[in-house]
A and B are shown apart, each in its own frame.
With several copies, the nearest count.
Chain A
């Protein structure tokens, strides 16, 4: 059994607005994959569900793939489709 860990996930733009908060904490066995963190986020906050399929994940300020391992101390963020420029 891996120890449970707390993952603090930063939310931006429409995700932040849907959740009503800039950061959400989810509990998961660590390490977890990026996609496991996202799935836990959807369960913790169903309002985010519609946004998650089109969102990307960043770990420590870099885009990552779904299978990337994430540790509780990592800076995890949900990035809905961007609109800069």
Chain B
């Protein structure tokens, strides 16, 4: 399985990440991207700040890749990019992309990747409002099907 993981301050591109998965035996590519929303609980968010424990985050992404390779041995390649720094509304904070011979593995592994990342990637998000700011932690009980940890 080929892998590509990055924690970056630059804008993310689905197309660029998917290009890293290209393989003539890949019949299926699934992607997930998380984007900065304009509201939280009805309150207008102006922008977001993401902070990472970067060396550990890179290690955790590699660990998630290994988990996926074990659970879905047919997966051909996986690429994950997480952005840090200031993000404007509508910008992508994370992209997970998986290629496989068939759609089932690609979709399941992609769902698993984003679920695991939200649970264990050492990254913190601050929402900035007109009148304050808050560190927003991920809530669970909303995992995707097929995405529970092993």
Contacts and interface: CB of A to CB of B under 8 A. Distances in A.
A–B contact with Cβ pairs below 8 Å: the answer is yes
Interface of A: 10, 12-14, 16-17, 58, 61-63, 77, 79-85
B136 interface: yes
A80 B51 contact: no
23 contacts: A12-B124, A13-B126, A14-B135, A58-B53, A77-B56, A79-B53, A79-B122, A81-B138, A82-B138, A83-B50, A83-B123, A83-B125, A83-B136, A83-B138, A84-B52, A84-B121, A84-B122, A84-B125, A84-B138, A85-B34, A85-B94, A85-B103, A85-B114
Nearest to B137: A81
Contacts of A10: 53
Contacts of B121: 82, 84-85
B66 interface: no
Interface string B51-91: 11101110100000000000000000000001000000000
B31 interface: no
A13 B51 contact: yes
Contacts of A84: 50, 52, 57, 82, 93-94, 117-118, 121-125, 138
Interface in B100-150: 103, 114, 117-126, 135-138
A59 to B, nearest CB: 10
A1 B126 CA distance: 44
Given A82-B122, A85-B94, A85-B114, A12 B59 contact: no
B56 A58 contact: yes
Given A61-B55, A80-B135, A84-B50, 7 more contacts: A77-B56, A82-B138, A83-B135, A84-B52, A84-B57, A84-B124, A85-B121
A21 to B, nearest CB: 14
Nearest to A11: B53
Contacts of A77: 53, 56, 122
